[in-house]
Structures are given as C-alpha cells and as structure tokens.
Amino acid sequence: METQLTRDIAGSARQIIGTIPKGVTLVAAVKGRTQAEVTAVIEAGITHVGHNYVQEARQTLTPALREAARWHMIGHLQRNKVNWAVRLFDMIQTLDSVELAHEIDRRCARHGIIMPVLIEVNSGREARKTGVLPEKLDTLVEAIADLEHIDIQGLMTMGPRFGDPENARPYFRATRAAFERLAKRALPGVTMRTLSMGMSNTYLVAIEEGANMVRIGTKLFEPQAEVT
C-alpha cells in the first residue's frame, strides 16, 4: 500500500536519478529499511539495491523483490555468512582478504555459480574499517585472480567520512589510480570495469573522480536529514 512515506521516497529517488550521469549505476543502500521502502525505490526506477547485512537481506528479499533488481552485498561479509551471501546477492562489493575469497569460491563452486566481486580498498587506512590497505591491493588481487568461481570486476571504497565532500576527493582519486593501474596490468581473471565510490554526501565528487557506481542511502530515504 502506498503511503506518504513511500511517495516521498519515490520522489526522492526520481530526483536523485536525475543527478546521475549516463553510465553511472546507482545502488540504493537499504540498511534498516522495510520491504515497502525498498519497493518504493525500485518502482521509482532504481534497479540495483545494496544490503549491509546477510540476515537483513534474508528477511527483506521476497521472490518478487529478488526478481525486480540486482542485489549487492555492500557491508562487511563474515566468512560464516558466505553460503547465504552467494545465494542472495548478484555481486559482493566487499572482498578484502584471501581467506574470504577462498570461502566465496568454495561456496560458489557448490552452487555452480561464478560471483562478480569488487575488492574493497581501505583508502583512508582507517584502523576501524575493513578493506585491504592500498599498498597490499596488488598482492591480494594476484593471490586470488585464478580462483575459478569469482570474477574480479573492480574496486570499491568508502573513504573517510567528512562533513565537506571535497575532503573525500584525494581518497577517491587514489582509488581510481589503483583501478587504472590494475586495468593496465590485464591480469587473467581480472576485469576492471566497476569503480564503486561515493555515498549520500560524496557521490557527486566520486563521480567527478571516476566512479561509475555510487551507493546512496540516507539521501534516498531521509531527504530532509543532514548528510555527513
């Protein structure tokens, strides 16, 4: 049933879609959102949806929603949740270790699928954040590139959170440089096609710095909230 809330969300989604250049994919970040709220953004035209938690995705993903969009894992993925993750998601954006890569590969082999993945880069070198450190990125990619059931398709980063979006620019720029460096290496099993950077407060800066995928949550679902 349509409510004022879902109408507002749909209107916000359509407005944001209008700010996204051609060739850039908008992923709706739906952490903590209801099925009705998720449905509203899909019906407004967003076809990629990101979950932070496997358990929440299990509760949200009805068969109809599963078919209506492509689903992304955009939160930290624990190894004991991988079996569910590879069944629920069309892409895992937060691969950050050899151990996790092998677990994804093993579980995908059991289900007969190949999982598109992005390597999460801790571009700000923040101790409390997940992601591979920039200086260890190439080593990780080299170590997992030959796994048969994962397809490395690019990089993802969050970058440190700032009030001023401009402060995130150097971290996005550095991640793009790494993306382009790996693309030039043309490693077997690695196709640098997706650069996922930028959230509600920073997505426009991220696009300027080369992102072709952005992840937006608060600005979609709480358009009146102050985004930091």
Which CATH number goes with the domain that contains 118? 3.20.20.10
Report the predicted TM-score, pTM, of the whole model to 2 decimal places.
0.95
Q: How many domains does the chain have?
A: 1
For residue 226, being part of any structural domain is answered with no
Task: Tell whether the model's pLDDT for residue 226 goes beyond 60.
Answer: no
HSE, CB side, 13 Å, CA atoms: give it for residue 81: 18
65: three-class secondary structure by DSSP = helix
What does the pLDDT look like over 6-62, one tens digit per residue?
Answer: 899 999 999 999 999 999 999 999 999 999 999 999 999 999 999 999 999 999 899
Task: Tell whether the model's pLDDT for residue 192 goes beyond 60.
Answer: yes
For residue 47, being part of any structural domain is answered with yes
The DSSP secondary-structure symbol of 131 reads S
What does the pLDDT look like over 131-187, one tens digit per residue?
Answer: 999 999 999 999 999 999 999 999 999 988 888 999 999 999 999 999 999 999 999
Instruction: Enter the tokens of residue 190.
Output: 């690695």
The 10 Å Cβ neighbour count of residue 68 is 16
Mean pLDDT lowest for which of 68-72, 84-88, 178-182, 185-189? 185-189
For residue 79, being part of any structural domain is answered with yes
Domain that includes residue 99, residue range: 4-221
Q: Tell me the residue type at 161.
A: R
Do residues 140 and 130 make contact, with C-beta atoms less than 8 angstroms apart? no
Phi, psi of 26 (to 5 degrees): -95, 120
